[in-house]
Chain A
Amino acid sequence: AQSVTQPDIHITVSEGASLELRCNYSYGATPYLFWYVQSPGQGLQLLLKYFSGDTLVQGIKGFEAEFKRSQSSFNLRKPSVHWSDAAEYFCVIGGSSNTGKLIFGQGTTLQVKP
């Protein structure tokens, strides 16, 4: 079955510290991979996506993610966190090729300490 696991439900980091959010997936082949962010009262915003090619992808707001096929992982990183990064982060895979269905992880809540 296709699934996404985000092992960390909550993460707290200090402003200016580095960040890594973990994501593992289960899929029959290499899926399309995404990270979305959801802030309170706002819709989901795409941070970055991986379809193929270079396994290190750059996104908006200084985020990057690395696809590791051998580990079925797609971890999100940021070298220096800002207070405005506090939000819910979702790792997402593209599901069935004919429906455009997205499969979301349960999310990681990021809290940023001043």
Chain B
Amino acid sequence: ETGVTQSPTHLIKTRGQQVTLRCSSQSGHNTVSWYQQALGQGPQFIFQYYREEENGRGNFPPRFSGLQFPNYSSELNVNALELDDSALYLCASSPQRTGSGTSSYNEQFFGPGTRLTVL
């Protein structure tokens, strides 16, 4: 069984540019969440996608957007990059929609992340 994969591993961009990060969910998982982890901090929730629709969003501006595809893979897009966007971006997949009931909160399986550096 293949786990969660992310591409690219590392990325360097300059301020004002746009970036797209990709995530392939684990087989059988239909929910994908994205997190931003700044250096020395815990990951922060960006948003979650379930069946190709956004299902909850953290405190991130609209220039952070995403997509989920019919095969449940996902993209995170960031426009107008700022220096503070430099971070490790983590994708996590789960086997079903999490949080939809007390018995359905499932483990989120994390990928290795994409390290984004904005110069």
Q: Do residues A100 and B33 form an inter-chain contact, with CB atoms below 8 A? A: yes
A52 CA / B98 CA spacing, docked (Å): 16
Q: Do residues A100 and B55 form an inter-chain contact, with CB atoms below 8 A? A: yes
Q: Is the interface of A mostly helix, strand, loop or mixed?
A: loop
Contacts A43-B90, A96-B99, A99-B99; A107 near B41 (Cβ below 8 A): yes
Interface residue total, chain B, C-beta cutoff 8 A: 32
Give the distance to chain A from B98, nearest Cβ to Cβ, in Å. 3
Query: Could you tell me which residues of chain A, from 57 to 114, have a CB within 8 Å of some CB in chain B?
Result: 90, 92, 94-107
Contacts A41-B112, A90-B42, A105-B42; A51 near B105 (Cβ below 8 A): yes
A6 CA / B94 CA spacing, docked (Å): 26
Contacts A32-B105, A94-B105, A96-B56; A101 near B112 (Cβ below 8 A): no
The winner among A52, A97, A102 for most chain B CB atoms within 10 A is: A102
Chain A residue numbers with a CB within 8 Å of B44 are 104
- Count, A-B residue pairs, CB within 8 A: 81
Q: Is the interface of B mostly helix, strand, loop or mixed?
A: loop
Chain A residue numbers with a CB within 8 Å of B41 are 106-107
Contacts A51-B105, A94-B99; A100 near B94 (Cβ below 8 A): yes
Give the distance to chain B from A26, nearest Cβ to Cβ, in Å. 15
A42, A49, A97, A104: the one within 8 Å of B107 (CB): A49
Q: Do residues A43 and B108 form an inter-chain contact, with CB atoms below 8 A? A: no
**CB-nearest residue of chain B to A9:** B40
Contacts A90-B42, A99-B48, A100-B31; A44 near B90 (Cβ below 8 A): yes
**A residues engaging B (CB < 8 A)?**
4, 32, 36, 41-46, 49, 51-52, 90, 92, 94-107
**B residues engaging A (CB < 8 A)?**
3-4, 31, 33, 35, 40-45, 48, 55-58, 90, 92, 94, 97-100, 102, 105, 107-113
